[in-house]
Amino acid sequence: MNPRYPVYIISKGRHESRHTSRSLDNMKMPYRIVVEPSEYPLYREVIPSEQILVTPKNFSELGCGSIPVRNWVWEHAKEEGSERHWLL
């Protein structure tokens, strides 16, 4: 299955469970998982590096929830030329 728009998963502290990414893998749906720099090594152990996007900083330290990461993903999608994107 190949989506019309790119699929992103924002993930924090879920490198062991990965329910969403496993489901997408089972559906053969391409996606990229977005993680903070401090968690990259943990995710790299279980997900191929070409599917991992690393945010420029640990947004969790800002105390704003996932909003800064969502905005970062939106900018990333626009930079790649996507009119829209899926965010899980």
pLDDT: which is higher, 28 or 67: 28
The pTM (predicted TM-score) of the whole model is 0.90
Sign of the CA dihedral 40, 45, 49, 51?
negative
Which tokens sit at 9? 């998963």
* pLDDT tens, residue by residue, 22-41: 999 999 999 999 999 999 99
pLDDT of residue 9: 97
